[in-house]
């Protein structure tokens, strides 16, 4: 009988203890955290008003033998990393007559940026006038600055007659391609 009483007493104590533990109030809140990560790839994009291309650069007419007219267009380059801009220095970059003569003009290019190398604006190393076959031969470095991922790139083109000559009359065309790489 003592054993039965002891077992009943033990069960009563355990039941009361369990009920007291279950009667404890829930906390007002219970937080869980999550680590969220993402990787941003290196991005290089030319602005897209014309499919990522410069507007046509239309140089004024050559009207005298010593003339050196030039014109330019600007295009924004978006980048979140340092890049180098290179140019196509091959034949397409040379102003060539559209007619049967295949006459050419002295063709020069230069590159400018809207920048302040002050540590807050993305900027580039400008390249002065150079003939088409050596323009940007070593590339032009663009330095990305945090919180500024855009730089205006201005491509200028210049046409002239070779010394002591006159080019054939008519229209001349060239295609200059700038490539930004990281």
Q: What is the pLDDT of residue 23?
A: 56
Q: Is the dihedral of CA 66, 103, 135, 61 positive or negative?
A: positive
C-alpha 95/C-alpha 1 separation (Å) is: 117
* Residues with Cβ within 8 Å of residue 138, at least 6 apart in sequence: none
Q: Is residue 28 part of a domain?
A: no
Structural domain span for residue 63? 44-181
13 pLDDT more than 80: no
Asked if residue 150 belongs to a domain, the reply is yes
Predicted TM-score (pTM) of this structure: 0.79
23 vs 53: which has the higher pLDDT: 53
Asked, for residue 128, whether it belongs to a domain, the answer is yes
pLDDT at 102: 86
Domain-embedded: residue 27: no
Q: Is residue 36 part of a domain?
A: no
Domain presence at residue 14: no
Quote the pLDDT of residue 22.
55
Q: Can you give the pLDDT at residue 91?
A: 82
Give 94-115 as a DSSP string. Answer: S-EESSTT--B-EEEEEEEE--
pLDDT (tens digit, 9 = 90+) per residue, 58-112?
A: 999 999 999 999 999 999 999 999 999 999 888 899 999 988 888 999 999 999 9
* Alpha-carbon gap, residue 132 to 115, rounded angstroms: 24
Q: Give the CATH number, domain containing residue 119.
A: 2.60.40
For the chain, the domain total comes to 1
Letter string b/e over residues 82-121, b meaning 16 or more CB atoms within 10 A of that residue's CB: ebbbbbbbeeebbbbbeeeeebbbbbbbbbbbebeeeeeb
By CB neighbour count within 10 A (0-12 exposed, 13-18 middle, 19+ buried), where does 171 fall? exposed
What tens digit of pLDDT does each residue of 111-136 get? 999 866 556 788 888 999 999 999 99
Q: What's the confidence (pLDDT) of residue 55? A: 94
**Is residue 129 one of the residues assigned to a domain?**
yes
């Amino acid at each position: 009988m003592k054993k039965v009483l002891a077992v009943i007493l033990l069960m009563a104590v355990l039941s009361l203890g369990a009920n007291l533990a279950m009667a404890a109030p829930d906390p007002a809140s219970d937080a869980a955290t999550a680590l969220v990560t993402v990787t941003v790839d290196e991005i290089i994009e030319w602005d897209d008003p014309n499919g990522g291309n410069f507007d046509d650069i239309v140089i004024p007419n050559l009207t005298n033998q010593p003339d050196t007219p030039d014109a330019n267009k600007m295009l924004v380059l978006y980048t979140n990393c340092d890049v180098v801009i290179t140019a196509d220095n091959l034949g397409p970059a040379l102003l060539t007559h559209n007619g049967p003569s295949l006459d050419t003009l002295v063709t020069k290019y230069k590159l400018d940026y809207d920048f302040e190398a002050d540590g807050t604006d993305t900027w580039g190393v400008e390249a002065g006038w150079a003939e088409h076959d050596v323009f940007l031969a070593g590339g032009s470095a663009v330095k990305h600055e945090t919180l500024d991922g855009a730089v205006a790139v201005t491509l200028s083109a210049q046409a002239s007659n070779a010394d002591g000559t006159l080019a054939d009359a008519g229209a001349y065309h060239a295609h200059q391609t700038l490539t930004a790489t990281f």
